[in-house]
Amino acid sequence: MAQTMRAVDIKGGAGPIEALHIAEIPKPTATGSQAIVKIKAFGLNRMDLIQRMGHYPVPAGASKILGVEFSGIIESVGDAPERSFKVGDEVFGLAYGGAYAEYIAVSTHMLVHKPSALSWEECAGIPETWITATQAMYNIAKFTPGKSILWHAGASSVSIAGIQLSSADSASSVFATARQDEKCAFAVETLGATAAFNTTTQDWVSEVKKATGGKGVDIIVDFIGASYFQQNLDAIAKDGVVVCLGFMGGTKLPAGVDISAFILKRCSFVGSSLRSRDEEYQGKLRDQLVEHALPRFQDGRFKLLIDKVLPWENIQEAHKLLEDNKTKGKVICTIG
């Protein structure tokens, strides 16, 4: 077998889109519970843009190569893989890094058998986004049927997953926000949200309160951070939970922020991440995904929405699509 492979590299270690290029590097080998997967397709995530610029710390021991989700075929395994995985299996999975490459070394605890009904491209867009939505909604916010929930960035890949999970599991109301009318319409008409509000043209807090009879929403999943902090506290219901997964709107709160809601409403604000979690934690989330969502992917109840598929040689164009913030669904790159 070849000792090298092609992978997306960043000139200088970090930089703008123009720094992305494909280089020849050493091919990984599998040890312990790992498998070597020959990658067919990989999904792009916003964290990839942040890591490319040198602002996203890679977990200790993880590959410095971009990318955490992929689909492909197992080429080899270490000496202690999960018993259900063997050479030749078609799989998709989640890794700590290394997916922008021809091959990846990944724990078999984070692999899922690829259903024949789904394409390589669809499977490459599942792991990071659907597991993140599952973690935020069930494990962090403790969602139960009958609660209301709001997903910010309603056309983002995580919220696309979350809106569908919320509707399928009997949320009383599923709200979304976005900064474009087209994305708001998409959240309602395509994904099934109860209502969606344009944060640039509407007072979304007032709209949420109107829609909930003044109560507010039980769960808010937020990717924006500081610029939505006060509004989230104003819109959250009594005993509600705000789950913060990102800070696209900054990390420094302005003067005058009123935190009285923490006592008056007994609400909680919880930050969370997925990539920094250990393998055991991520493995349990994989099992949740397989049990809870996979059957619904296969029978079509859940939509796997892909905005654009590009050959990986066009990786600069793929990153530009994400940076322009106009996508509704995943950007996927294919190899081969």
The domain boundary, picked from 271, 300, 320, lies at: 271
Residues 267 and 149 in one domain: yes
Q: Determine the structural domain holding residue 191 and report its residue range.
A: 130-271
Residue 40's pLDDT is what? 98
**Residue 230 sits in a domain of what CATH number?**
3.40.50.720
Residue 1's pLDDT is what? 67
Residues 222 and 122 in one domain: no
Residues 102 and 173 in one domain: no
Chunked mean pLDDT (size 10), the chain, 336 residues: 92 97 97 96 96 92 95 96 95 97 96 96 96 95 98 96 97 97 96 97 98 98 96 98 94 95 98 88 91 92 95 98 92 96
**Residue 99 sits in a domain of what CATH number?**
3.90.180.10
Residues 207 and 266 in one domain: yes
Residues 182 and 303 in one domain: no
Residues 313 and 191 in one domain: no
Residue 273's pLDDT is what? 87
What is the percent of the chain where pLDDT is above 90? Answer: 91
Residues 41 and 106 in one domain: yes
Residues 250 and 137 in one domain: yes
The domain boundary, picked from 248, 271, 294, lies at: 271
Structural domains of the chain, count:
2
Residue 325's pLDDT is what? 87
The domain boundary, picked from 219, 254, 271, lies at: 271
Alpha carbons 70 and 10: distance in angstroms, whole number: 19
| Other C-beta atoms lying within 10 Å of the C-beta of residue 143 | 24
Q: 0.85 cut: is pTM over it? A: yes
Residues 144 and 179 in one domain: yes
For residue 207, what are its two tokens?
């709209």
Residues 218 and 292 in one domain: no
Residues 279 and 267 in one domain: no
Alpha carbons 71 and 314: distance in angstroms, whole number: 18
Residues 259 and 138 in one domain: yes
Among left, alpha and beta (phi > 0; psi -120 to 50; other), residue 32 is left
